[in-house]
């Protein structure tokens, strides 16, 4: 079996208002070659959590073959979702407990898409403190903010 390529994925999402115009961005780095790729996009009306998820989904979707990925994000929502909540949600038919009853998981279609990508790649989650001078995290934040600002100029 071929050895999996190792990459670093830095992601961020941002919103002006929540909900409001939103942007996502990722930076993929292949340490062995030093090559990198950054992309961003946005939506005119969305939430910060949706943009955080979109950033991860877009980054993982860009990979052409199964890879070992270290995901760096400042999103506690994404991190806890990946590490704690998602296995429970799946076991409960993509529902979560709210009080004594089960309700649909918010952003279910995005979590399902992310689950498909996680089946393809080996992903390790690393939390980064936001706005802390972390070069790559600051870069994806800058790209995500620029992506939503395009929607602000249209109004």
Tell me how long the chain is.
Answer: 155
Q: How far is 87 from 154, CA to CA, in rounded Å?
A: 41
SS3 assignment, position 139? helix
Residues 132-135: contacts with CB within 8 Å, 24+ apart?
134/72
DSSP string, 15-55: ESSSSEEEEEEEEEEETTTTEEEEEEEEEEEE-HHHHHHHH
User: Which of 125, 38, 18, 112 lies closest to 73, judged by CA?
Assistant: 125
Catalytic positions are 12-13, 52, 74, 131, 141
Q: How far is 59 from 73, CA to CA, in rounded Å?
A: 12
Given a contact cutoff of 8 angstroms between Cβ atoms, the answer to whether 136 and 14 are in contact is no
């Amino acid at each position: 079996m071929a050895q999996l390529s190792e990459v670093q994925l830095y992601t961020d999402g941002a919103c002006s208002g929540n909900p409001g115009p939103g942007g996502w961005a990722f930076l993929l780095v292949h340490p062995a070659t030093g090559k990198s790729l950054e992309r961003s996009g946005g939506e005119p009306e969305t939430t910060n959590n949706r943009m955080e998820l979109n950033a991860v989904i877009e980054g993982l979707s860009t990979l052409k073959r199964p890879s070992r990925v270290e995901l760096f994000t400042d999103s506690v929502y994404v991190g806890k979702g990946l590490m704690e909540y998602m296995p429970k949600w799946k076991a409960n038919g993509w529902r979560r407990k709210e009080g004594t009853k089960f309700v649909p998981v918010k952003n279910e279609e995005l979590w399902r898409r992310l689950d498909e990508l996680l089946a393809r790649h080996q992903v390790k989650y690393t939390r980064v403190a936001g706005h802390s001078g972390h070069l790559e995290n600051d870069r994806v934040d800058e790209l995500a903010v620029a992506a939503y600002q395009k929607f602000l100029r249209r109004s």
